[in-house]
Structure 1
Amino acid sequence: MKKGQLRQLVLSLGVGIAVFLVLALGLRWNFLFSAALGVGIYLGLWFLLTPRADPITLYFAQRPDGGEMQALMEEAERDLKAIRSAAGRITDVRTHEDALALTETGDRLYCYLREHPEKIPSANRFLTYYLDTVGRILGQYVKFQDAGLGTSEVREFQRKVRAILPKLKTGFEEQLSQLMASERFDAEADMKVMESLLNTEGFQWEANQNGSV
């Protein structure tokens, strides 16, 4: 039994027994009623303290490739932490802000995938390549910065990093937009139906008004 389950058992059983003892021995309530109430409280606490399964974990468990998908998301989370850490250490104000903006966009994309795990395969390149590469680039940028290197090669590398960060942010936003495309199409379809209904109702209202004149 895991430690969490053991604590859950001890707490639930302890409270159930305490309630039984207080009622049966302290208050002199009916023995069977006190026992039934104690058992009921034990079972209730057990279910209340049972951790709820994460929906994304349940989704992975139902798929033959769920283990691979879960590994991708875990790796992506580590990459995002590395990107966030590197962005926070950049001293150049503009580069720092651009790196943080990129991180925020990456976080939004990651959170969307957690809420819609069925779209993880569509973001495979984002998860397996872009996040890892951005993390390594920003990590190298910080290493050069902390080392105080000012050679022409290092300055050129830093210039390229500054130039590419806004482009990467745009790329992340386009990836998120593509993932949400089906939802946008559904919303647009709903708006067209609503517009059609409103036009129909407006036409009927005008016809009724004209008939009453």
Structure 2
Amino acid sequence: MGQMTIKNKIRSPYPFYGVGIFCLIYAFVFDLYRITDYFILTGLGIVVYVVLKSVFFHDVTTQKTVNSDSVENTLTLVEMEKEAATQLQALNELNQGIADEKISQDLNEIVSTIKQIFKYLREHPEDTTSIRKLLAYYLPVLIELLETYAHYETLSEPKGKVKDTAGEIEGAVEMMKQAIHHKYEELYQNQMIDTNAEIEVLKTMLHQDGLLLDEMKEERN
């Protein structure tokens, strides 16, 4: 009986609470009349977030060891990539036979976004469970819809319910594109928050040290 370790990274919400409390206190103590006042408040808020996150409230990684035999329907990242590659190939082949430019463009974006999702998962394999439904249900359904649409395109003059269904499929493809992009942004959200916070802290420190000359000139003018 084999064993496997499941890791889960938990991000503390307290730095966000701390920033909110700091902003409320700052607004009571200081006047916020100028745009620069809000820039300063934003910069200080970022500093508070970074300090709280790095000093007081660290991310917590939990892990537990379970029997691999007791984990049902578990796919490794490699297996998921193979399955995704098969589905993406099917989408590309269908795309080549579809004349509608809007659907073709949407499919190109779907394929590109899914590739970016797996690029992220190679660095964060603990998040693979979040896309299982994408591979097990959403993409297979999308492929079936596109097969139907490709058949409708072969008809010389689709009318009535056939034309209406084709329009609904076009809407479903657009909906899938937006949903997959949302999943991509969801996966990268925490990473983007950390990166943006670091950039804002850097900008604030450069500003305070008088090293952002262009911005200083604009404020004087």
TM range (shorter): 0.5 to 0.7
Structure 2's unaligned 5+ residue stretches are: 1-66, 212-221
Q: Map 1:45-64 to 2 at 5 A.
A: 64=68
Which of 65-74 and 180-189 deviates more? 65-74
Counterpart of 2:171 (choices 148, 154, 163) is: 163
Q: Map 1:118-157 to 2 at 5 A.
A: 118-146=126-154, 150-157=158-165
TM-aligned CA deviation for residue 93 of structure 1:
2.9
Paired residues in the alignment total 141
Equivalent residues of 1:82, 1:135 under 8 A apart = yes
Q: CA RMSD in A?
A: 2.9
Residue 146 and residue 115 in structure 1: after superposition, are their counterparts in 2 closer, same or farther (change >3 A)? farther
Q: Which has the higher contact order (CA 8 A, sep 6+)?
A: 2
- Residues 118-137 of structure 1, C-alpha deviation per residue, up to 9 Å, x if partnerless? 32122222232222221221
Aligned-partner Cα distance in 2 for 1:68–1:149 = 44
Structure-1-length-normalised TM-score: 0.55
Aligned-partner Cα distance in 2 for 1:145–1:181 = 39
Q: Partner residue of 1:11? A: none
TM-aligned CA deviation for residue 148 of structure 1:
5.4
Q: Partner residue of 1:87? A: 95
Q: Are 1:114 and 2:122 matched, yes or no?
A: yes
Structure 1's unaligned 5+ residue stretches are: 1-62, 204-213
Residue 87 and residue 136 in structure 1: after superposition, are their counterparts in 2 closer, same or farther (change >3 A)? same
Identical pairs, percent: 21
Q: Partner residue of 1:68? A: 75
- Residues 82-103 of structure 1, C-alpha deviation per residue, up to 9 Å, x if partnerless? 1111111102233333333333
TM-aligned CA deviation for residue 196 of structure 1:
4.0
Structure-2-length-normalised TM-score: 0.54
Aligned-partner Cα distance in 1 for 2:154–2:117 = 30
Equivalent residues of 1:83, 1:139 under 8 A apart = no
Equivalent residues of 1:80, 1:107 under 8 A apart = no
TM-aligned CA deviation for residue 151 of structure 1:
4.7
Aligned-partner Cα distance in 2 for 1:189–1:97 = 34
The runs of at least 4 aligned residues of structure 1 exceeding 6 Å deviation read none
Which of 142-151 and 156-165 deviates more? 142-151
Larger radius of gyration: 1
Q: Partner residue of 2:110? A: 102
Q: Are 1:176 and 2:184 matched, yes or no?
A: yes
Which of 154-163 and 70-79 deviates more? 70-79
